[in-house]
């Protein structure tokens, strides 16, 4: 499947492997300094495969120690072994045969954190996407499904806990010092879901009884001394299991479900069958060390990985081009879970906010690709916001188009039809066509065409006739991916809001498109929808709940936005009207050299903060100013981050002045009393109270309100909110330095909190930050090889701090490029991920653009770059 250049892999070249692996038997012997892996594959030539087909197994940095076919050593002329490939010829034409493969690896030296590695003494694995080939030679592709029996052997002292996929089936001592454990996973799975863990671990356990009465032993393992912090994760796990039974009729299917929290992990977490491995950041919480955002993150990621058991594991992907089959769908499922467990509008707003912040810039820049890509050089670089978050939006649109019942019927059909298979997006969409009795062939373009479609909306109101006419128009520019630009099926949810804030009856709409109540199906380039018999001009609440991932262009009068922000019965619509108004006002101020957004806009924000008909979490979202990163995206061309920073800071202060009385009263009313609760309601109250801190402190030009909050805080949300205001708005002040020092002293032994300490300083929009970051990179607690710590500093600067990263003198770019070069020698996957911070360099003003290009080109020109980083740099510069 590899190209002539040896690198590009294409969807159109997919074909099944010539051999099937039915079963895998593995013994993993762990020692200090190395591991020995003995694997026996039960193989068979696939019916119809060419008689002379060789068996070509994937490897990556492997050393072969033994090789035997049906118990007989394979002679030298029968195979060819390299670090990245094992080829065998002359294998049996029919029937099953057994191939025994021995490899030797060094987990301690594995800094890529792919395959089998050691994290803080704990042995663990990460095999998605292509990590299994770093453990043994294999058909390391997701359509190769096998059952696994795994035997682990290790020193009893170093590894009292020995875990693998599936159910435990045996174990015991091995002489004086060592012991073993055996596991069997009866569910055929692809190699990317393989996992083993061994080490000194603490645990919390509970029992879950499934809907049909089966008992499952749930255990969460942590490094020693941290298991008290796993209680909330356990609670989230049980709620996820119950929710999947109720909402999708999906039960768990093994006797045990294990989760292990690991401190060196490239991503968030991994859904290995029966043995999820997590970045410890998404397991460990307590009120003293974790914020409300951390609690919400744990809940989401626990749910996400659990939901993969059906969407990803029971039904997996035929090839990596189908990644969104499991990821987009599972993100959709975890978003729905959070909506049901917390607040639907607040969750939807948060998801849309993330989509616009992460996916829109990707979709509109050089790293653009369709939700289902058709080619890649390095699959690790396709675990993107487009595959995950836009992928989820596509599932959401299918649900919107079909309606709840038919959507559920389509999901049921998908599980029924494809359980135990490696499926494609075509398979998935066909289930909804069949269950819904609908043609989704035009909709399928959403998977194939990259880019964010523009949706232009305009309206004309005829006073005398009482007639409102809406015009909708879609268009799609050709972007970096060069995919098609045909009109797509866009579901547009809307409402007409009367003067008293009631939804008007819209059933009498006449149209040249298809309208289903409050849903317009825009399928052509344009559509017109007309409403007659109106007694006055209603307010148009358009694209409710963000019913499609489009770039809405609506020349909406400020008076309409002000009215909708107050009146729209759809909470999302209120947020949408207000934030569009705030965003436009800030962009205008930035472009026109004004000091700040106008008072009319700020007053609407103050009114939203005080509106007691809305839940506090939603009010917090409405009174939040867009961050500098978001403003960079909104300004879009010839960006000068100095101007963005200046306008944002003065707008923040102006907001604090306009709202002073209201905000102070609110903060008193919402003050922390009583015992800590991580509930969404309690978190919402904290969010609103803490959002008001920055405007008040900047308006007063006085950090004392933040200092007081820092000193009296009784949980991490309040403490970190105060420290953020101090470090970001009073950088370098005695108040900020004192608080930072106290924070460090207090949490010096806590890895996860130290990450916050690094990130906070790297993300401070201040002229002194770069020097500080250079010093922090030499701090004894900084470890480039730890992904969380590296991310705190590098992504803290390049991802969260446009003012410093995009410094006009180019120093931010050069520092980042230099750090990426260093990180690439340790952990290419993480380096490549963080290099995407450069993706918007072309939207900068010329001086910055030139500096970014120079830094990027210098890095791209270095020898020995990983394929991961080279791929991102090439595409970013192209």
Closer to Zn ion by Cβ: residue 391 or 810: 391
Whats the size of the chain, residue-wise? 878
Picking from 552, 572, 574, 576, the residue whose alpha carbon sits closest to that of residue 564 is 574
* Tally of CA atoms within 13 A in the half-sphere of 609 that contains its CB: 32
Residues 6+ apart with CB under 8 A from 43: 19, 20, 21, 22, 55, 91, 96, 97, 98, 99
Question: Taking the complex as a whole, how short is the minimal distance between the CB of residue 330 and Zn ion, in angstroms?
Answer: 5
Closer to Zn ion by Cβ: residue 222 or 330: 330
Task: Provide the 8-state DSSP code for 56.
Answer: E
DSSP states along 802-864: HHHHT-TTSHHHHHHHHHHHHHHHH-HHHHHHHHGGGGGGGGB-HHHHHHHHHHHHHHHTSTT
Closer to Zn ion by Cβ: residue 312 or 703: 312
Question: Taking the complex as a whole, how short is the minimal distance between the CB of residue 435 and Zn ion, in angstroms?
Answer: 24
Closer to Zn ion by Cβ: residue 392 or 876: 392
What radius of gyration, in Å, describes the C-alpha atoms of the chain? Answer: 28
The C-alpha atoms of residue 629 and residue 800 are separated, in whole angstroms, by 7
Q: List strand residue ranges (DSSP E) for 768-809, in order.
A: none
Are 221 and 162 in contact, with CB atoms under 8 Å apart?
no
Burial of 861 (0-12, 13-18, 19+ CB in 10 A): exposed
Question: Taking the complex as a whole, how short is the minimal distance between the CB of residue 26 and Zn ion, in angstroms?
Answer: 25
Are 329 and 391 in contact, with CB atoms under 8 Å apart?
yes
CA quadruple 555, 557, 561, 567: dihedral, nearest 10: -120
Burial of 33 (0-12, 13-18, 19+ CB in 10 A): exposed
Question: Taking the complex as a whole, how short is the minimal distance between the CB of residue 828 and Zn ion, in angstroms?
Answer: 21
CA quadruple 653, 655, 658, 661: dihedral, nearest 10: -90
- Coil, strand, or helix at residue 457? strand
- Coil, strand, or helix at residue 334? helix
Are 352 and 546 in contact, with CB atoms under 8 Å apart?
yes
Closer to Zn ion by Cβ: residue 74 or 302: 302
Question: Taking the complex as a whole, how short is the minimal distance between the CB of residue 327 and Zn ion, in angstroms?
Answer: 5
Closer to Zn ion by Cβ: residue 219 or 330: 330
Label the pairing between strands 215-223 and 256-262. Answer: parallel
Q: Provide the terminal-to-terminal Cα distance of the chain, rounded to the nearest Å.
A: 24
Question: Cα dihedral sign for 161, 162, 166, 172?
Answer: negative
Size of residue set near Zn ion by CB under 5 A? 2
Question: Taking the complex as a whole, how short is the minimal distance between the CB of residue 313 and Zn ion, in angstroms?
Answer: 11
Q: How many of the other CB atoms lie within 10 Å of CB of 172?
A: 8
The C-alpha atoms of residue 190 and residue 637 are separated, in whole angstroms, by 45
Question: Taking the complex as a whole, how short is the minimal distance between the CB of residue 744 and Zn ion, in angstroms?
Answer: 34
Helix (H) or strand (E) holding 69: strand 63-69
Closer to Zn ion by Cβ: residue 309 or 801: 309
Closer to Zn ion by Cβ: residue 252 or 383: 383
Helix (H) or strand (E) holding 339: helix 323-341
Question: Taking the complex as a whole, how short is the minimal distance between the CB of residue 314 and Zn ion, in angstroms?
Answer: 14
Are 406 and 482 in contact, with CB atoms under 8 Å apart?
no
The C-alpha atoms of residue 214 and residue 234 are separated, in whole angstroms, by 18
The C-alpha atoms of residue 425 and residue 439 are separated, in whole angstroms, by 15
Question: Taking the complex as a whole, how short is the minimal distance between the CB of residue 304 and Zn ion, in angstroms?
Answer: 5
Closer to Zn ion by Cβ: residue 126 or 632: 126
Closer to Zn ion by Cβ: residue 258 or 330: 330
Find tokens 């039904």 and name the residue.
315
Task: Provide the 8-state DSSP code for 359.
Answer: I
- Coil, strand, or helix at residue 600? helix
Closer to Zn ion by Cβ: residue 327 or 824: 327
- Note if 305 is an active site residue: yes
The C-alpha atoms of residue 389 and residue 331 are separated, in whole angstroms, by 7
Closer to Zn ion by Cβ: residue 309 or 330: 330
Site string for Zn ion, 316-355 (x = CB under 5 A): -----------x--x-------------------------
Question: Taking the complex as a whole, how short is the minimal distance between the CB of residue 312 and Zn ion, in angstroms?
Answer: 7
Question: Taking the complex as a whole, how short is the minimal distance between the CB of residue 358 and Zn ion, in angstroms?
Answer: 15
Question: Taking the complex as a whole, how short is the minimal distance between the CB of residue 262 and Zn ion, in angstroms?
Answer: 17
Picking from 743, 747, 748, the residue whose alpha carbon sits closest to that of residue 727 is 743
Task: Provide the 8-state DSSP code for 368.
Answer: -
| Selected catalytic residue, list 128, 299, 305, 362 | 305
Are 306 and 370 in contact, with CB atoms under 8 Å apart?
no
The C-alpha atoms of residue 623 and residue 368 are separated, in whole angstroms, by 32
Question: Taking the complex as a whole, how short is the minimal distance between the CB of residue 247 and Zn ion, in angstroms?
Answer: 18
Helix (H) or strand (E) holding 260: strand 256-262
Closer to Zn ion by Cβ: residue 358 or 474: 358
Residues interacting with Zn ion, by CB under 5 A? 327, 330
Catalytic residues: 305
């Amino acid at each position: 499947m590899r190209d002539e250049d040896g690198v590009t892999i294409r969807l159109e070249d997919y074909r099944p492997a010539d051999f099937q692996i039915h079963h895998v038997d593995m013994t993993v012997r762990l020692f200090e300094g190395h591991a020995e892996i003995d694997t026996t594959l039960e193989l068979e030539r696939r019916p119809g495969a060419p008689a002379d087909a060789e068996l070509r197994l994937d490897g990556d940095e492997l050393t072969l120690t033994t090789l035997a076919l049906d118990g007989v050593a394979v002679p030298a002329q029968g195979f060819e072994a390299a670090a990245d490939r094992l080829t065998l010829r002359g294998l049996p034409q029919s029937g099953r045969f057994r191939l025994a493969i021995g490899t030797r690896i060094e987990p301690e030296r594995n800094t890529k954190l792919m395959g089998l590695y050691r994290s803080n003494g704990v042995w663990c694995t990460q095999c998605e996407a292509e990590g299994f080939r770093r453990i043994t030679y294999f058909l390391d592709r997701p359509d190769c499904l096998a059952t696994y029996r795994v035997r682990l052997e290790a020193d009893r002292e170093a590894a009292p806990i020995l875990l693998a996929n599936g159910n435990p089936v045996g174990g015991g001592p091995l002489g004086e010092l060592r012991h073993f454990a055996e596991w069997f996973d009866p569910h055929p799975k692809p190699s990317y879901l393989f996992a083993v863990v061994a080490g000194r671990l603490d645990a919390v356990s509970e029992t879950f009884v499934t809907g049909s009465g089966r008992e499952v032993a749930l255990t969460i393992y942590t490094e020693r001394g941290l298991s008290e912090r796993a209680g909330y994760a356990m609670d989230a796990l049980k709620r996820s299991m119950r929710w999947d039974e109720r909402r999708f009729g999906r039960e768990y299917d093994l006797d045990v479900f294990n989760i292990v929290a690991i401190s060196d992990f490239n991503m968030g977490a991994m859904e290995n069958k029966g043995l999820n491995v997590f970045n410890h950041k998404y397991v460990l919480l307590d009120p003293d060390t974790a914020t409300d955002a951390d609690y919400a993150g744990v809940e989401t990621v626990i749910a996400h990985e659990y939901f993969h058991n059906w969407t990803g594991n029971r039904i997996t992907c035929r090839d990596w081009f189908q990644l969104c089959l499991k990821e987009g769908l599972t993100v959709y499922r975890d978003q729905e879970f959070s909506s049901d467990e917390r607040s639907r509008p607040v969750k939807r707003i948060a998801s849309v906010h993330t989509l616009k912040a992460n996916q829109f810039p990707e979709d509109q820049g050089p790293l653009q690709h369709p939700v289902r890509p058709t080619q890649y050089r390095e699959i690790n670089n396709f675990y993107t916001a487009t595959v995950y978050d836009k992928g989820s939006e596509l599932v959401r649109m299918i649900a919107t188009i079909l309606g709840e019942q038919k959507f559920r019927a389509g999901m049921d059909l998908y599980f029924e039809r494809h359980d135990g298979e490696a499926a494609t997006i075509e398979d998935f969409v066909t289930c909804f066509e069949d269950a819904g009795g609908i043609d989704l062939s035009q909709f399928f373009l959403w998977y194939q065409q990259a880019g964010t479609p523009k949706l232009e909306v305009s309206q004309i109101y005829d006073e005398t006739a009482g007639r409102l006419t809406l015009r909708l128009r879609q268009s799609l520019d050709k972007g970096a991916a060069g995919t098609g630009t045909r009109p797509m099926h866009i579901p547009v949810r809307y409402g007409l809001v009367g003067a008293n804030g009631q939804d008007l009856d819209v059933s009498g709409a006449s149209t040249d498109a298809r309208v289903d109540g409050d849903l317009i199906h825009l399928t052509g380039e344009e559509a017109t929808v007309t409403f007659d018999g109106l007694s006055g001009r209603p307010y148009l609440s358009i694209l409710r709940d963000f019913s499609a991932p489009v770039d809405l262009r609506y020349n909406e009068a400020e008076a309409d936005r002000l009215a909708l922000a107050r009146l729209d019965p759809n909470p999302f619509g209120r947020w949408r009207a207000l934030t569009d108004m705030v965003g436009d006002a800030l962009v205008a101020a930035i472009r026109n050299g004004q000091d700040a957004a106008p008072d009319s806009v700020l007053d609407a924000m103050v009114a939203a903060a005080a509106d007691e008909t809305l839940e506090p979490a939603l009010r917090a979202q409405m009174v939040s100013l867009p961050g500098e990163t978001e403003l960079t995206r909104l300004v879009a061309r010839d960006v000068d981050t100095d101007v963005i920073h200046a306008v944002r800071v003065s707008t923040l202060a102006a907001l604090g002045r306009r709202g002073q009385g209201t905000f102070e009263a609110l903060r008193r009313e919402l003050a922390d009393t009583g015992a800590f609760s991580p509930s969404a309601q309690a978190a919402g109250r904290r969010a609103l109270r803490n959002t008001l801190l920055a405007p008040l402190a900047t308006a007063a030009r006085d950090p004392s309100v933040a200092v007081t909050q820092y000193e009296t805080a009784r949980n991490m949300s309040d403490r970190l909110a105060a420290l953020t205001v101090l470090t970001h708005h009073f950088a370098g002040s005695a108040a900020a330095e004192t608080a930072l020092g106290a924070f460090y002293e207090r949490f010096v032994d806590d890895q996860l909190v130290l990450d916050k300490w690094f990130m906070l300083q790297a993300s401070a929009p201040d002229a002194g930050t770069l020097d500080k970051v250079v010093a922090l990179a030499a701090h004894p607690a900084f470890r480039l090889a730890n992904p969380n710590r590296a991310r705190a500093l590098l992504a803290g600067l390049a991802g969260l701090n446009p003012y410093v990263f995009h410094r006009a003198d180019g120093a931010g770019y050069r520092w980042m490029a230099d750090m990426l070069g260093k990180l690439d020698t340790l952990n290419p996957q993480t380096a490549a991920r963080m290099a995407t911070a450069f993706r918007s360099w072309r939207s900068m003003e010329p001086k910055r653009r030139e500096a970014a290009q120079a830094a990027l080109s210098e890095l791209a020109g270095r020898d020995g770059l990983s394929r991961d980083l080279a791929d991102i740099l090439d595409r970013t510069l192209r």
